[in-house]
Amino acid sequence: MSVPCPFCYLPSDRIIDSNDAGFVLRDAFPVSPGHTLIVSKQHVGSVFDLTAVDRDLLLRLLDRAKLVVDCEYQPDAYNVGINDGVAAGQTIPHLHIHLIPRFNGDVADPRGGVRWVIADKADYWSTR
């Protein structure tokens, strides 16, 4: 028996914004204050399965979500990411974009950002 997709059966009170292609909610397991998800209304696993119009609409939600997080949390920067496929770390096979607010000092050395998904290759700036 398969587990129902948590994004397909999400309680409506979790949704903080939406448009024709997707919706916005706060991550249930945030890695930083304001960690937000932009989720496709279509149950597809990959951003590459969307039409250009739907991708554009999701990016419009991303822009709007950033403005809200800017006002509520005043982050110093952001990581924006999509885990697209199991090998990339995707654990829920339903397309969603992470908007992760970053704050000065939240990690000792933030250089490399998303490059750290493959830690042995992330640091290209030192003489390791």
Residue 37 reports pLDDT greater than 80: yes
Q: What is the pTM of this model?
A: 0.93
Average pLDDT of the chain, as a whole number: 94
3-state class of 100 per DSSP? strand
Count the neighbouring beta carbons within 10 Å of the beta carbon of residue 38.
Answer: 29
Strands (E), the chain: 17-18, 22-26, 36-40, 77-81, 96-102
Looking at domain 12-119, which CATH architecture does it have?
A: 2-Layer Sandwich (3.30)
Banded model confidence at residue 1, pLDDT cuts 50, 70, 90: low
Residue 2 reports pLDDT greater than 90: no
d(CA 65, CA 121): 31
Catalytic sites, residue numbers: 96
d(CA 60, CA 18): 10
Residue 84 reports pLDDT greater than 70: yes
Q: Domain locations in the chain?
A: 12-119
